[in-house]
Structure 1
Amino acid sequence: MDYLFLIIGFIVLLYSGDLLVKGGVALSSHFKISTLVVGVTVVSFGTSAPELFVSLDAALSGSPDISIGNIVGSNISNIALVLGFTAILLPLPVRSNSIKFDWPVMMGASALFYIFILNNKLETYEGIIFVLLLISFMVWTVWNSRRESRSMVESFKEAKYSIPVSIILLLASSLGLYFGANLLVDSAKNIAIDFGVSERVIGLTIVAFGTSVPELATSAVAAFKKEMDISIGNIIGSNIFNILGVLGVTSIVKNIQVSEAIISFDVLIMLAVSFLLFLLILPLKNGKLHRWKGVLLMASYFIYVYLVFKQ
């Protein structure tokens, strides 16, 4: 049954990713907000929902390695696997705003996370700081987009759906992503446990990959629909949400213990992959994530997974 649930989970996630893109693009047209901002905020929140529920459940049930490993592994997977795979499907143009603002926020959040866990735990007050930073990031992003849109003429496509329908699509797709991810994660976890894999490895690989499937589905669908800003914006935004939002809320609910192995190896890999993304999306003008860069990103992910299982 676990293998059947694994397949069903994938199907639900792929279909939900399609609905999320449609709803997000429609809302951006109604409110005159760029699809890049929708990708960084609304779509990223929807695709980060699985990480939130998984991390909360793991922390409350006494599995901190799965809770933290899920986020660290998911952020690595989002950049190296998801963005790499999407770039191989279709080379992705990069907006300068992604380099000048969104990437620095993601890198800054990642570095702050590393500093916070040097004492082997993530505490309540640190979670509050994360959540406040996330709120500030979202407010500034939306405000800046609205300000820039005033000087743009005929920049937005006509919305295909009304505002109520768009909101229903976003809610329905987010629910689909949550239930689909649960099916995939639970079945994958059961399969992995049968092979005697540790919680840290399960969290960093199986669970992280499962909760990254929404990002993979959404980014792939967005790329095929030529909504490139959602594809790249979704990944950067999702990583920001994972750290500031998911870990912020989870650590507020319960302090999370962090193992030395995650601090000394996995988080450093997350920082390295994030910096690699910066190098690959240069230059500041007319940057593009070519197919060969996608191959490089995917190769780095498989090397990382190999090293995790080898430890």
Structure 2
Amino acid sequence: MFLALQIVGGFLGLLIGGDLLVRGASAIAVRLGMSPLVVGVVIVGFGTSVPELVTCVRAALGGASGIAVGNIVGSNIANILLILGAAALMRPFAASRHAVLRDGSIVIASALMFAAAAWTGTMGRVTGAVFVVLLIAYLVYTVRSDRKAAASYDDVPAVEGTSLLMAIVAIVVGLILVLLGAEYLVNGAVVTARLFHVSEEVIGLTMVAVGTSLPELATSVVAAIRKHPEIALGNVLGSNVYNAVGIMGITALVKPVPVSDTLRTVDIPLMVAISVLLVVMVATGRRVSRWEGAMLLALYGVYIGLQTQAA
């Protein structure tokens, strides 16, 4: 019973804390006059990726490298199949050419770099440093290239009337909840894996990945319903780039992380293929329809089913 409460408490901490982080960061972004796409990719994408960051670093320091790498790969797969699928099922949305050509290609490139680094067997500190530098360059490029497209204050949902002080408080409280939630979730996941003789990679790819992706799910679905497709899509695109190069980079800098053969040969190539599928889907039709959303959700169901059988 205590183990179940620990895992549920970790999920709730990540969900509530991630939501507060997103709202606070979005409010600050509005004050700076950023466009919806930049808010989605840079601010919201970063805010919703904090649970993955904290969870991966905590797992790596605790010696659970399988959960650390599995969480990143599983989160990126869940972002595309589960989150964009659910958002499109709620409300079909179009995507701008700008988002596809720029951020979509960067998502594929980051996934390929992640796969190449993982193929060596260990994500070392040199790789981590390179990834962090690339992430900083990506953020600078994104903000500068989109500066002229900055939207009005009303273009970003759910932050109207939020003062700067309240935004900062939301970020601080959100970060505390995320830290506590990650602690409980990782501890509970490790104990569960050992109790049922399930590999850390499977736990990271499924339970932990879905748990840390809840903020992205909530944000993208709400953005789609409120007719802000660029925030919904930008959230997923930004989160996947953060996960692949940012979170993996910081985690590897803190402590080098070994990558299992299963992750290198099965799950990471699958992550790359799904990233390509997303960009091709959006680039050809310029929109994600309901039937495409249902297809993405069905694919995620198959993926989880296969992971459960492998456990």
Q: Offset at 1:185?
A: 4.9
Q: Describe how 1:3-152 pairs up with structure 2 within 5 A.
A: 3-149=4-150
Q: Describe how 1:173-192 pairs up with structure 2 within 5 A.
A: 173-192=174-193
Q: Offset at 1:80?
A: 0.7
TM-score normalized by the length of structure 2: 0.88
Q: Secondary structure at the match of 1:282?
A: helix
| Structure 2 counterpart of 1:247, one-letter code | M
Would the alpha carbon gap of residues 224 and 14 (structure 1) be closer, same or farther in structure 2, given more than 3 Å must change? Answer: farther
Q: Offset at 1:56?
A: 1.5
Rounded to whole Å, the distance in 2 between the matches of 1:83 and 1:303 is 16
Q: Deviations over 1:113-138 (max 9, x none)?
A: 11112221111111111000000011
Would the alpha carbon gap of residues 17 and 211 (structure 1) be closer, same or farther in structure 2, given more than 3 Å must change? Answer: closer
Contact 1:181 1:214 in 2 (8 A): no
Show structure 2 runs of 5+ residues with no match.
none
Rounded to whole Å, the distance in 2 between the matches of 1:218 and 1:193 is 33
The residue aligned with 1:305 is 304
Contact 1:84 1:296 in 2 (8 A): yes
The residue aligned with 1:239 is 240
| Structure 2 counterpart of 1:206, one-letter code | M
Q: Offset at 1:192?
A: 4.9
Rounded to whole Å, the distance in 2 between the matches of 1:115 and 1:143 is 29
Q: Secondary structure at the match of 2:198?
A: coil
Rounded to whole Å, the distance in 2 between the matches of 1:57 and 1:180 is 11
| Structure 2 counterpart of 1:56, one-letter code | V
Q: Deviations over 1:173-199 (max 9, x none)?
A: 343344345444544554454332111
Rounded to whole Å, the distance in 2 between the matches of 1:154 and 1:194 is 51
- Name the stretch that deviates more: 258-267 or 180-189: 180-189
Rounded to whole Å, the distance in 1 between the matches of 2:39 and 2:153 is 18
The residue aligned with 2:287 is 288
The residue aligned with 2:228 is 227
Q: Deviations over 1:6-32 (max 9, x none)?
A: 444454444445444443443333211
Would the alpha carbon gap of residues 95 and 182 (structure 1) be closer, same or farther in structure 2, given more than 3 Å must change? Answer: farther
Q: Deviations over 1:197-223 (max 9, x none)?
A: 111111111111111112112222333
| Structure 1 counterpart of 2:171, one-letter code | L
Q: Offset at 1:310?
A: 2.7
Cα RMSD (Å) of the superposition? Answer: 2.5
Taking every aligned residue pair, what percent have the same amino acid on both sides?
Answer: 38
Count of residue pairs the alignment pairs up: 307
Contact 1:44 1:238 in 2 (8 A): yes
TM-score normalized by the length of structure 1: 0.88
Rounded to whole Å, the distance in 1 between the matches of 2:290 and 2:67 is 32
The residue aligned with 1:210 is 211
Show structure 1 runs of 5+ residues with no match.
none
Rounded to whole Å, the distance in 2 between the matches of 1:227 and 1:48 is 20
